[in-house]
A and B are shown apart, each in its own frame.
Chain A
Amino acid sequence: MPDGVDRYLGQVAAVLRVHPRRRGRVLDELAAHLHESAELHGESEALRRMGDPAAVASAFTPRRRDRLWEERDRLAAAAMLLAMLFSLPMAAELIALNHHVGQSTRWAALVLAPSALLATASCILVLAHRPLGARLAMPLVMLVGATAAMTLLGAGPTGDLLNGYQQGIRHGYETAGCSGRTLGACASDHAAEVRLNFSLGAVALALGYLVAVAGWVPRRPRRRRARVA
């Protein structure tokens, strides 16, 4: 037969609406408190001091906005994985055009693979609530930043990858979106667009991810003293 503390905790648990990750912790904390209090003051006094179980449970329930904020690390991890997934068709197009013009993509793949693998590992670990996932975010930002800088400067294997892409369009292997322009101009525009969007987009995404998973919280703005006439 459950004692008063167990019954009380059961009543709290019945109406407690918190994230499953916090649920056990809330109940464990309340149990520890009630048992300690019951030893000193007796069970019924401990329960009285704690207050109405429904009120206690509802005080733990965060607002919808707070719930989303609490889950921001996992939302960012999911967004990162989705962004990587959506970039796959573009990556396939880059590879295909490079192959058309006879340019190898092996070195570019070797340069990009660590960022992709690190991002995937970090996101999966964050989604699984493993702290290591958040710790991998800073190395990821540094790696993505270095790769983005290289790509923007048109240097190294990622620079070559975009040069191959540009040549592929110029040779007419891909003409979508080129109507009304010469293939040379179209190739140059497309390559510049991809260079800029992919580099800055990847850096912005990685920085946003770092902020979300590292638990950074914006500073509360200082309130201005109200002037009374």
Chain B
Amino acid sequence: MKADLLKGHLDLLLLAVLADSPAHGYLVIDRLRRASGGSFDLPEGTVYPALHRLERAGLLASSWDEGSARRRRVYDLTARGRAALAERRAEWRGFAAAVGRVAGVGIA
């Protein structure tokens, strides 16, 4: 899938893959790829700036994980991040349904 199509939806996707458990950047990218069945194969360099931006907005919190062999920055949703995720999921449902209706593409 073209990276351009994901523009504007990356925040929702990142919040969603962190909803179940915290993860470091590499794992976030891996979860995106797996959850999309390989469709979302983003340039990995675009994910880190987005994670930093979401953290600055107070939607994510991060800390260094020194426990594993390699030092990694682990990201987790904040309470505000959870609320934002719920809001964006609802927006997306409405948007996808509307596009589907106009384009004549049924959404199951």
Contact = CB atoms under 8 A, between A and B. Distances in A.
Contact of A35 (B24, B25, B70): B70
Contacts of A223: 91
Interface residues of B, number: 23
Contacts of A26: 48, 52
A56 B48 CA distance: 9
Interface in A8-44: 22, 25-26, 28-30, 32-33, 35-37
A82 interface: no
B70 A50 contact: no
Contact of B71 (A28, A215, A222): A28
A62 B31 CA distance: 26
Contacts of B84: 220
A32 B56 contact: no
Contacts of B49: 56, 59-60
A69 B58 CA distance: 12
Contacts of B87: 222
A3 interface: no
Interface of B: 24-26, 43-46, 48-49, 52-53, 56-58, 70-73, 80, 84, 87, 91, 94
